[in-house]
């Protein structure tokens, strides 16, 4: 979770609020719901085994501790699109 301890978070309904950074993420998708976060959180399967709790996922995604935002923009006709910010 971006190198932060789980104890610095609050779970509010479907949202995960990182209290030390004041960022907010959707629990189901990991998508950013409120700034200042720019990147969504990666989502992992949880596995319980021999009294321990583990995450299951691709090693590169786990080590990166983030995922790229999935944004799509397809202007129609002669229109121009300008994206400002992150």
Report the C-alpha gap between 19 and 2 in whole angstroms: 13
Q: How far apart are CA 83 and CA 78, in angstroms?
A: 17
Contacts of 43 (CB under 8 A, 6+ apart): 29, 30
pLDDT attached to residue 50:
92
pTM: 0.52
pLDDT tens over the chain, length 86 residues: 445 444 466 667 777 666 666 778 888 888 888 877 788 888 888 889 999 888 888 888 878 767 776 667 676 778 777 777 65
Residue 73's pLDDT is what?
67
Report phi then psi at 25, rounded to 5.
-125, 150
Q: How far apart are CA 59 and CA 55, in angstroms?
A: 10
Instruction: Please name the residue that has the structure tokens 């501790």.
Output: 65
């Amino acid at each position: 979770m971006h190198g932060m301890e789980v104890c610095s978070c609050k779970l509010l309904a479907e949202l995960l609020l990182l209290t030390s950074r004041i960022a907010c993420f959707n629990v189901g998708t990991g998508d950013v719901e409120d700034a200042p976060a720019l990147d969504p959180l990666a989502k992992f399967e949880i596995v319980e085994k021999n009294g321990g709790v583990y995450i299951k996922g691709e090693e590169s995604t786990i080590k990166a501790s983030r995922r790229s935002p999935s944004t799509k923009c397809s202007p129609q006709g002669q229109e121009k699109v300008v994206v400002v910010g992150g």
